[in-house]
Amino acid sequence: MALDVLESANFPGLSPFMNRYMTRTVATDLVAGKRSVFTYSKLCRALIVGFVEVPQRNKWVGGKMHVRRGLVGGPIQFSWPETFFNYMNESANKAGAVLGRMSERQQGKLADLMMGDIESVAKSEVFRAMKQDVEFSGRAAFDLKALNEPDEDEA
């Protein structure tokens, strides 16, 4: 599936990092639940989900790759079960939390880099995704430290 920023969002608890996660993050996982097992490979805007068994097959619409036909790219309407979106939302929070743990020195270097070529930043994919995160989450889109939950050792 090809991912892009969300055009609209009506999801309680939507991660303030969701659009940056959807378009800029790389992640892999092997997920096992009570009724399903699947592999999850997210390569920035490309998402590949491989099922051992497909639960709720009718809720996975528009993302199936066919071996002998089909196109890559272009607008595609797809949907998936709410539980899968919950998994992605949690993953977006975790990815945002990692950025929220950057040291002040790292944050300073990043700010200097961005301010050094602000025109390129304004035209970038990450800025477009951040702009959408701000539209959905307001100032929370910048408060990635709030996504950090205390480790079990710290609690």
The strand pairing partners of 116, in sequence order, are: none
pLDDT at 153: 47
Nearest C-alpha neighbor of 14 from the set 142, 133, 139, 145: 133
Query: What does the pLDDT look like over 48-99, one tens digit per residue?
Result: 888 887 777 777 776 666 667 665 655 666 778 888 889 999 999 999 988 8
DSSP 22: H
- pLDDT score recorded for residue 133: 93
Minimal CA–CA distance to 22: which of 92, 98, 121, 124? 92
Q: What pLDDT sits at residue 67? A: 63
Residue 151 has pLDDT above 60, yes or no: no
pLDDT, residue 26, reads: 95
